[in-house]
Amino acid sequence: MTACRFLAWIVLAGLSVAASAGARTENRFGSIHIDGKKAGQVHYTIEYGDTGDVETLKTRASLSILGIKLFNFEQTLHEEWRRGEMQIFRSRTDDSGKIFEATLSRGSGVYRGSLNGSPLEMPNKAFPASVWHYGIVDRTLLFDLKNLKLLSVKVTRAAETLALPDGRKVATERFEFSGDWSATAWFNQKRELVKFKYLVDGHDVEVRLDP
């Protein structure tokens, strides 16, 4: 498996966040683990406007082995939401030098937009494939944040007390996604993401958010 495949999934899996009132900027940090061993880190910067809506999302991630950086990934998103529905989506992704530029605007029943200049449409019931936004747990149609590919999923949930590496225990909801997108996400009682896990080519990839 290549470092590119690991990091592309890790970063794309968690970029959209639920808004709350007031202009501010948040920084979130997390560690990337492969087969139980720490192999990288991720840093998200989320900017909110005066209304509390997400204005920009930025992320950087790197994967290194024995101190050698193997891969860089950078993505910038702009999302505008109203009454729980995304109205505008713009993204620019640099995936190890390969550029993806995407736009979507909400219309009557569809999103209209483009990917690298080519026009496209998709159902406006599609939701960003992002575990930062708790609203994803009720959706069965997602779209990839990089290439806008549609993903049909099923979601199951269960209560679980999660043991953290520092010895603390936290009450969470565990959500299992299956179908075109297979993953597990844990949210705390504030509906904040705690951990995200995925299986890639037989390897366990896990993102753990810092407390």
Q: What is the pTM for the complete model shown? A: 0.76
Structure token pair of residue 183: 């993953």
Structure token pair of residue 87: 């109205």
pLDDT in tens, 130-174: 787 788 999 999 999 889 999 999 999 999 999 887 888 999 999
34 or 172: which leads in pLDDT? 172
Beta strands at 54-65 and 68-82: parallel, antiparallel or unpaired: antiparallel
Cα 31 to Cα 26: distance, rounded to the nearest angstrom: 17
Q: What is the dihedral of CA 62, 63, 68, 69, to 10 degrees?
A: -30
Candidates 117, 132, 142, 165; CA nearest to 59 is 132
Q: Which of 31-40, 68-77, 151-160 has the lowest mean pLDDT?
A: 68-77
pLDDT above 90: residue 72 = no
| 123: amino acid identity, one letter | P
pLDDT in tens, 101-139: 999 999 999 999 999 999 999 999 999 887 877 889 999
Candidates 100, 96, 94; CA nearest to 74 is 94
The domain limits of the chain are: 3-150
